[in-house]
Structure 1
Amino acid sequence: MSRRNYPSAFMHPFSHIPTLEEEGPVIVDRGEGVYIYDDRGRKYLEGNSGLWNVVLGFDNKKLIETAQRAYAKLPAYHAFFGRVGQAALDLSERVVKLAPMEANRVFYANSGSEANDTVVKLLWFLAEQEGKPHRRLLLSRKNAYHGMTVITASLTGKDYVKSASGLPVKEVRHLTCPHHWREALPKESETDFSQRLALELEQTIRNTGPDYIAGFFAEPVMGAGGVIPPPEGYFQAIQPVLKKYGIPLIADEVICGFGRTGEFWGSQTYGMKPDIVVASKVITAGFFPMGAIILSPEMTERIDKASAKYEELPTGFTTGAHPVGCAIAMAALDEIEGGAFANVKARSPEFQKQLRAMADHPMVGEARGVGLMGALEMVADKKTKAPFAGNLDVSERVSRQALKNGLICRPLGASIVLAPPFIITDAQISELFGILRKTLDEVYRDIAKKAA
């Protein structure tokens, strides 16, 4: 039954307008484990953990009870003027011990976008206070995703950002997307591709001038770019270049952090040694909005010194370090360290095995992923890697058909992306890929029929 005439004052973010106009929204009513149910009682396997974040299930009793107790004790407060809730202190001590590098300080925001935005502000703050106000340029990669504030949307290397909002701002430079399958030269190995990108980075730095560059932002795995793991040796090739020129490496772990890649951090999976880590999403398992900036001792010392002029750190958010959010984060980390992360490690081989098996489908050009995340890139021609014509909306078609079959998966450009909850079982993984293969077969037949 269509909801085409469904009345709503709600403005949908990042939603396919033709689909909304034709079918209306899916009104989510409740959740249970890895499944959600709509207001008509239909059940869906949530193959994307909501937006990468609801990793402990949609009805986790421990998180719900923790939130109830925290709201009863201290339902709201701020962290300005030297005041802070105990939960924020406890969480910070825990996070710096868990960090993928030596760390000693955490700053809280309300989302990954806000956290990345704050990192930029801190880098510019340091440049001003250290007598280098010209050090404002920021390096990112094409197809990256770092958020949707003005500056983080600028760091985001998606074509729609420029065409939709006239971004990026002048301070941002985008380097080649590290997608070997799509960007490598003929017969270029992954390591050779990585070396070429490191050379591109160094040439960019030298041509621009290292004293003008404030930082390099990188996701360990490019999540919203379509789950693109780095090529072999990538971070090992670029990090010496950054170190040579004294440019901080900011690891955007918003999606990868706290277990998604099969290690606790994507930085650990790929040998990154960041100066700053940005985390969000999984830190509260989606039960509360939170972003966290984790700082190395060197960055902390520089920020403390720069703040002396003002007798304070001149930035913050009203609900950053919210007492309820911090309590939920502590409970989420208990659950992750207490068994959910072990389940990721145990289930990842089966997930990746079934993901790679989808590469034999005539519509799939590449099956890629790591840990409990993966993507299938849709192509019209496997040999030439030619995508389907844009007017076919193939990935959107797959997503819509999967929804009808009881699976939520995400269309991202030419790709279908999967990132199921950490608590998924092998049986549910088989259910997920069984529905997805059935869906691809149905869409493929429909496209072939219309082309005949």
Structure 2
Amino acid sequence: MKPTWLADRDIASVMHPYTNLKKHLDVGPVMITRGEGIYLYDENDRALLDGAAGQWCSSLGYGKANARIAKVASDALIDLPYSHIFRHQSHKSVVELSEKLLALAPVPMSKVMLQCSGSEANDTAVKMVWYYWAGRNQPQRRKIISRMGSYHGSTCASLSLTGNTDYYRSFGLPLDGFLKVSGLNYYRTGLPGETEDQFTDRLAKELEDLIVKEGPDTIAAFWADPVQGNAGALPPPKGYFEKVQKILKKYDIVFVVDEVICGFGRTGEWWGTQRYGLEPDIITSAKGLSSAMQPISAVLVNEKIFSVIAAESDRLGSFIHGYTYAGHPVTTAVTVEVIKVYEELDIVGHVKGLERQFQAILESFRDHPLIGNVSGVGLLGGLEMVKDKETKTAFPKEFGLAPKIEAAGRSHGVLVRVIADRLVFAPPLIITAEELDKLAAGARAALDDVYASMA
């Protein structure tokens, strides 16, 4: 029985992102009304195990367990409902949060700039990189290299970083100067007879060849997420970042690591940077930063970058960049409390404790007729779906794989996410061993349903 409040609402009044807007007028939304633990409940009060943590972000789940965080938000709304951080003005929780992030940083970092979303964080980092090179009297270093399969946001600059051509259509993007190298899917793009080590060598050579072709003195930065979330939770091949970082150092190219998905425990470390031995100059983060309880992101910069930016701002009179709600006192107070909860729960240790089981679950899907390959790390994993395992044939777009799998998942009580041809798992980090098994069972049932429908 649907709640009565729905009958009085025009649910078609909402314009939904990443949605077929015309089709939506006919099919309408799946209405989520509440959450508890790792479960969301729809308008019929049906429990749905959230296998994707919302948008990779609800690390602490939902409901009553978060009452202490709600109390912090309530108190902050009373004490200081808003205060900006422009032009030397500040407040207590923005300082506390920045200090905490620097203490947690995986490599030495100097300063934190708070923003409101992952897209804003990456957009801000692009401007910082350009500002940095202007400050070094090399303003021609404007080009930025990222990888196909990576997602870095929806603003014009961050979408230009994103390596998915579907996202550019009819927007007139990407902007000029945003260059791409190949993604990391060895299963899909490895050459016949090519080992994983050879695949890695080829990717590294492609990056260096592009730098040389464009001119090292025109390249500003290289952008990378430790695990390619938008490619379907795809970890890097063996030795990839070791080789890439040598190239970046050789040509004095700024290294920006996008930790928006990977940060705050998702990979079994506080940061994906730690998992893969990265040495970034700039880190962007969001999502798990506040467990999605408030819209916030953070850009961490090392002293090499900050000292040049600071000197350039002094030369110009100001670093003219910022957003109205950046460093919002309610948002920062909540985020400080979320990090305290992470530490008290030992959320990183909890993820490490579940990783072996999670990997075993991923491996168990190799026998399914629709699964060609599996990969994952921490509590972030993906299943590569194929129409034919022998030939690795992908499903045609007109088959509608994603909506079919996701609808079948809901019918079995799980919310799963499909990106391209990969079924992704990224549950709330508080998930238990028993709940992981439930997620796996629901996902397998969904795959079985779609496979049966093909007969």
Instruction: Pick the TM interval, shorter chain.
Output: over 0.9
Matched, 1:173 2:179: yes
Q: Match for 1:334 among 340, 347, 354? A: 340
Segment drifting more, 128-137 vs 173-182: 128-137
Offset of residue 22 of structure 1: 5.5
Matched, 1:42 2:46: yes
In the alignment, is the contact (CA less than 8 A) between 2:115 and 2:326 conserved in 1?
yes
Matched, 1:151 2:157: yes
Normalised by the length of structure 2, the TM-score is 0.95
Equivalents in 2 of 1:332, 1:7: separation in Å? 32
Corresponding residue of 1:446: 453
Deviations 1:390-409 (A, max 9, x none): 21112320111111221111
**Partner letter of residue 129 of structure 1?**
G
Equivalents in 2 of 1:401, 1:18: separation in Å? 23
Segment drifting more, 10-19 vs 320-329: 10-19
Equivalents in 2 of 1:81, 1:166: separation in Å? 35
Matched, 1:84 2:90: yes
Matched, 1:283 2:313: no
Deviations 1:369-405 (A, max 9, x none): 1110111111011122110122111232011111122
Structure 2: 5+ residue stretches without partners = none
Matched, 1:408 2:412: no
**Partner letter of residue 49 of structure 1?**
A
In the alignment, is the contact (CA less than 8 A) between 1:161 and 1:168 conserved in 2?
no
Deviations 1:142-199 (A, max 9, x none): 1110000011111101021232322111110000102111111122222221111111
Q: Match for 2:269 among 263, 283, 287? A: 263
Matched, 1:11 2:18: no
Q: Match for 1:254 among 253, 260, 265? A: 260
Matched, 1:343 2:350: yes
Matched, 1:425 2:429: no
**Partner letter of residue 71 of structure 1?**
L
Equivalents in 2 of 1:355, 1:335: separation in Å? 28
Corresponding residue of 2:123: 117
Residues 301-450 of structure 1: pairs in structure 2 closer than 5 A: 301-339=307-345, 340-448=347-455
Equivalents in 1 of 2:289, 2:58: separation in Å? 10
Corresponding residue of 1:30: 34
Equivalents in 1 of 2:27, 2:155: separation in Å? 30
Matched, 1:274 2:273: no
In the alignment, is the contact (CA less than 8 A) between 2:160 and 2:175 conserved in 1?
yes
Equivalents in 2 of 1:156, 1:48: separation in Å? 21
**Partner letter of residue 346 of structure 1?**
G
Equivalents in 1 of 2:38, 2:23: separation in Å? 25
Equivalents in 2 of 1:396, 1:19: separation in Å? 13
Equivalents in 2 of 1:191, 1:255: separation in Å? 26
Offset of residue 20 of structure 1: 3.6
In the alignment, is the contact (CA less than 8 A) between 2:123 and 2:157 conserved in 1?
yes
Segment drifting more, 8-17 vs 75-84: 8-17
In the alignment, is the contact (CA less than 8 A) between 1:154 and 1:161 conserved in 2?
no
Normalised by the length of structure 1, the TM-score is 0.96
Offset of residue 336 of structure 1: 1.2
Equivalents in 2 of 1:293, 1:147: separation in Å? 14
Q: Match for 1:194 among 175, 178, 200? A: 200
Equivalents in 1 of 2:440, 2:389: separation in Å? 21
Equivalents in 1 of 2:123, 2:336: separation in Å? 24
Corresponding residue of 1:73: 79
Segment drifting more, 316-325 vs 252-261: 316-325
Offset of residue 127 of structure 1: 2.4
Corresponding residue of 1:96: 102
In the alignment, is the contact (CA less than 8 A) between 1:378 and 1:394 conserved in 2?
no
Structure 1: 5+ residue stretches without partners = none
Equivalents in 1 of 2:406, 2:296: separation in Å? 28
Deviations 1:231-255 (A, max 9, x none): 0000001101000100011000000
Segment drifting more, 189-198 vs 250-259: 189-198
**Partner letter of residue 351 of structure 1?**
F
Equivalents in 2 of 1:68, 1:395: separation in Å? 39
Report how many residues are paired. Answer: 447
**Partner letter of residue 177 of structure 2?**
E
Equivalents in 1 of 2:10, 2:425: separation in Å? 29
Equivalents in 1 of 2:228, 2:30: separation in Å? 27
Equivalents in 1 of 2:32, 2:210: separation in Å? 47
Equivalents in 1 of 2:11, 2:343: separation in Å? 44
**Partner letter of residue 114 of structure 1?**
E
**Partner letter of residue 247 of structure 1?**
I
In the alignment, is the contact (CA less than 8 A) between 1:276 and 1:295 conserved in 2?
yes
In the alignment, is the contact (CA less than 8 A) between 1:139 and 1:216 conserved in 2?
yes
Equivalents in 2 of 1:22, 1:384: separation in Å? 37
Offset of residue 6 of structure 1: 6.8
SS of alignment partner, residue 374 of structure 2? strand
Change (3 A) 1:269 1:32: same
Offset of residue 305 of structure 1: 1.1
In the alignment, is the contact (CA less than 8 A) between 1:141 and 1:176 conserved in 2?
yes
SS of alignment partner, residue 86 of structure 2? coil
Equivalents in 2 of 1:315, 1:7: separation in Å? 36
In the alignment, is the contact (CA less than 8 A) between 1:6 and 1:24 conserved in 2?
no
Equivalents in 1 of 2:437, 2:302: separation in Å? 41
In the alignment, is the contact (CA less than 8 A) between 2:406 and 2:416 conserved in 1?
yes
Segment drifting more, 294-303 vs 253-262: 294-303
Deviations 1:56-92 (A, max 9, x none): 0112122212111211211111001111111011111
**Partner letter of residue 432 of structure 1?**
L
Segment drifting more, 130-139 vs 286-295: 130-139
**Partner letter of residue 167 of structure 1?**
L
Equivalents in 2 of 1:182, 1:66: separation in Å? 47
In the alignment, is the contact (CA less than 8 A) between 1:134 and 1:212 conserved in 2?
yes
Segment drifting more, 41-50 vs 155-164: 155-164
In the alignment, is the contact (CA less than 8 A) between 1:409 and 1:418 conserved in 2?
yes
Deviations 1:16-50 (A, max 9, x none): 55874554211111110100111221110011111
Change (3 A) 1:376 1:17: farther
